[in-house]
């Protein structure tokens, strides 16, 4: 491979430094702006190339040593080799760049909101099983190959201790025929979940006893197979809410940062002056419940396609004594078909793919005065915001939230206001009582 030397002037959202070589953009992972680097080209595309850093000739003042034991092979901590302050700046720039590419170059993006803890924040770890090596691990980037596990700095040390304990007794694990392992922490302790190809009662009981004997903080060890499903409830306290989830339910992995995100949503809802609100993609109900608690005179409707999550949401509403919200199971894009309600405020928190085309049509037909959009993908957020702006909305606020420190991922909270609403619809009320 031929070697090149160049100065790097920028960095993309994936943590790759950017330079130009003979007019072509070159991305080199792990390189910071301001660094001079010797590198080689590993991949050439039509409009860009990808390189590998061979040596640092001039280092950035923001470079630090990564604490990830498998930094290069895993790729999860894509930004772990820079100072936290620089990471947060880069994530805000990633949101700005996504908006600019969608034609929204004039939109102001605030600085990134973040929690103090950069490592050990994840309340969930999911690993895959390599039956040949008899061990669990993350998959290598863009591959199904399992990387041998030596620890994970993003998770509590106790998670890594559990995995390494299992690796010390490969026969104990292989008897289960596992496919994956999940470890989740909550206020009531740690839950370990094995997903297996087939049910083996004796092997399940053996591994259950071994883990509980070794780790006093483990409260549940669940073993599930296609013909045998085990579950339990996890208890958590989030923003003053007593929340309980089924063990397999989606839950934000960084509770302190999520509470900061909820505070942003509350702030924006306070500016909305609403009487009726719809929480679409409501999941287990945290966003809707938080707003319903803070605005007891308003009526709230939550809709979610996952029936287990809806049941969790209903139980959580009753557990917290919140009576001004109702949860329903169904496609969020069918809201108008289900309810004779014209919400003044709509909150959406879609998956990475963003709002579906049918959901975007539904949202425009609902025409709420205010939309609060929570996104885990700046690219699909920018696409959806552009369409909403083309149909009578303006962006009031965009704030990145670093829910996933040291990784390339960033959450964003945005509020949009409808400019051409004829009158506040909330004054009409609802034909349905809560």
Residue 423 pLDDT? 37
pLDDT of residue 20: 95
pLDDT confidence of residue 420:
65
Give the model confidence (pLDDT) of 226-243 as tens digits.
999 998 999 999 999 999
The answer, as to whether pTM is greater than 0.85, is: yes
Quote the pLDDT of residue 429: 36
Sign for the pseudo-dihedral over CA of 137, 142, 143, 148:
negative
As annotated, the active-site residues are 376
As for how many domains the chain has, the answer is: 3
Angle between helix axes 157-167 and 201-214 (nearest 10 degrees) is: 130
The whole-angstrom separation of Cα 137 and Cα 178 is 12
CATH of residue 355: 3.40.50.150
| Strand ranges in 93-199 using DSSP code E only, listed in sequence order | 113-114, 124-130, 135-137, 178-186, 189-196
Domain co-membership, 271 together with 143: no
Looking at the domain assignment, is residue 361 inside a domain?
A: yes
CB 25 within 8 A of CB 49: yes
Q: Write the CA distances from 254 to 156, 260, 403, integer angstroms.
A: 12, 10, 6
Sort strands 16-21 and 10-11 into parallel, antiparallel or unpaired: antiparallel
Q: Which residues, in sequence order, are bridge partners of residue 301?
A: 278, 326
Buried b (16+ CB within 10 A) or exposed e, 31-41: bbbbbbbebeb
At 263 the pLDDT is 97
Residue 149 sits in a domain of what CATH number?
2.40.50.1070
Both 210 and 265 in a single domain?
no
Same domain, 39 and 104: no
Low pLDDT (below 50) residues in the chain: 421-434
Q: Is residue 48 part of a domain?
A: yes
Backbone angles phi, psi at 346, to 5 degrees: -125, 130
Answer whether residue 69 is part of any domain: no
Write out the residue range of the structural domain in which residue 132 sits: 124-234
Give the integer Cα–Cα distance in Å for 124 and 403: 13
- For the stretch 8-24, pLDDT in tens is 999 988 889 999 998 89
Do 227 and 316 fall within a single domain? no
Q: Indicate if 219 and 159 belong to the same structural domain.
A: yes
């Amino acid at each position: 491979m031929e070697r090149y030397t160049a100065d790097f002037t920028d960095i993309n959202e994936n943590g790759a430094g950017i330079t130009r070589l003979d007019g072509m953009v070159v991305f080199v992972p792990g390189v910071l702006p301001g660094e001079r680097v010797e590198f080689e080209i590993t991949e050439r595309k039509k409009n860009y190339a990808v390189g590998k850093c061979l040596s640092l000739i001039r280092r950035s003042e923001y470079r630090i040593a990564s604490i990830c034991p498998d930094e290069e092979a895993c790729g999860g901590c894509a930004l772990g080799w820079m100072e936290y302050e620089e990471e947060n700046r880069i994530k805000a720039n990633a949101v700005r760049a996504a908006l600019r590419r969608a034609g929204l170059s004039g939109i102001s993006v605030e600085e990134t909101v973040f929690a103090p803890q950069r490592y050990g924040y994840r309340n969930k770890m999911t690993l895959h099983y390599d039956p040949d090596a008899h061990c669990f691990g993350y998959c290598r980037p863009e591959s199904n190959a399992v990387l041998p596990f030596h620890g994970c700095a993003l998770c509590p040390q106790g998670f890594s201790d559990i995995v390494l304990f299992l690796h010390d007794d490969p026969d104990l694990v292989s008897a289960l025929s596992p496919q994956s392992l999940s470890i989740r922490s909550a206020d009531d302790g740690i839950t370990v979940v094995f997903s297996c190809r087939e049910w083996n009662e004796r092997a399940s009981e053996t591994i259950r006893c071994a883990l509980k004997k070794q780790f006093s903080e483990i409260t549940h060890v669940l073993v599930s197979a296609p013909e045998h499903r085990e579950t339990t409830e996890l208890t958590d306290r989030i923003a003053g809410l007593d929340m309980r989830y089924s063990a397999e339910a989606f839950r934000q992995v960084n509770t302190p940062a999520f509470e900061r995100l909820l505070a942003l949503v509350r702030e924006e809802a306070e500016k909305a002056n609403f009487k009726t609100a719809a929480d679409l993609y409501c999941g287990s109900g945290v966003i809707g419940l938080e707003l319903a608690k803070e605005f007891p005179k308003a009526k709230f409707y939550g809709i979610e396609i996952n029936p287990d999550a809806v049941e969790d949401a209903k139980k959580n509403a009753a557990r917290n004594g919140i009576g001004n919200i109702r949860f329903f199971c169904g496609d969020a894009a069918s809201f108008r078909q289900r309810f004779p309600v014209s919400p003044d405020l709509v909150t959406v928190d879609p998956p990475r793919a963003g709002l579906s085309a049918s959901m975007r049509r539904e949202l425009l037909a609902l025409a709420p005065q205010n939309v609060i959009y929570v996104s885990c993908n700046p690219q699909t957020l920018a696409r959806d915001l552009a369409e909403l702006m083309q149909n009578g909305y303006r962006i009031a606020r965009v704030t990145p939230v670093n829910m996933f420190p040291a990784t390339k991922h960033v959450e964003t909270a945005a509020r949009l206001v409808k400019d051409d609403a004829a009158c506040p619809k909330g004054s009409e009320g609802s034909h349905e009582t809560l």
